[in-house]
Amino acid sequence: MYTLLHGLYKHVTQKDEFFVLILGLDNAGKTTFLESAKTRFVKNYKGVNLSKITTTVGLNIGKIDTNGVRLNFWDLGGQEELQALWDKYYQECHAVIYVVDTGDRERIGESKESFIKMIKNENTRGVPLLVAANKQDLEECMGVREVKPLFESNVDHVGTREVMVLATSGLTGEGVVEGIDWVAQCVVRNMHARPPHDKEKS
Ligand code: GDP
């Protein structure tokens, strides 16, 4: 009886595990976005001072439970030499959050190029994609209407995957909860194509 109840308890409390890549150029705001999400979703999370975060070198990780699933985030460094490593994670991931610095017009072309490279990669085919038009709190930023066509012009490679371009600010929290919840719903909808990893106790 105990075993039966224990098994049932485990079944109810365990969550499907999904992996989400956070990509984008260095300085786009990836780490700040992830920290901002953690402070909003993780109970008792003692966040760091968001305005003190410096650019990602290497890998930052995070874990968020929402909509009945567990999302494991990999925030990868965006420097050119680190972008070569992104490839290694594509096969394993269930969704991508691509962060764009909308305050940096000079690098928007570079950001678009690395985005195209990523969606052209065979291993990201069909993977749901959130484009975070980030730093919307900046006065001179490009709005979603300006950013969207830049990233949607590659729709051939986007294929049939789910895509959303969303106005966000890691600093103010704009769009953060909406974006994460959307990703959580997408990975569940896409479960037949990319099944979750082994369940782990919550
Ligand atoms: P990463 O290299 O992509 O991980 O970027 P970081 O999260 O380290 O942020 C790079 C810089 O942009 C830091 O100075 C952040 O304070 C700043 N930053 C990040 N997100 C935002 C945002 O939403 N708005 C503004 N104004 N600045 C941001």
At residue 89, the 3 state secondary structure works out as helix
Cα–Cα distance measured from residue 202 to residue 194, given in angstroms and rounded to the nearest whole number: 21
> What's the CA-to-centroid distance between 75 and ligand 1, angstroms?
13
Closest atom of ligand 1 to 34 CA is 7
CA 21 to chain centre: 5
Band (pLDDT 50/70/90 cuts) for residue 71 is very high
Indicate whether 40 pLDDT > 90. yes
Q: Is the CB of 169 under 6 A from ligand 1?
A: yes
State which residues form the domain around 184.
2-201
Determine whether the shortest distance from the Cβ of 160 to ligand 1 is under 6 A.
no
Query: For position 14, which CATH number holds?
Result: 3.40.50.300
Task: Say yes or no to pLDDT of 94 above 80.
Answer: yes
Whether the model clears a pTM of 0.85, i.e. scores above it, the answer is yes
Number of compact structural domains in the chain: 1
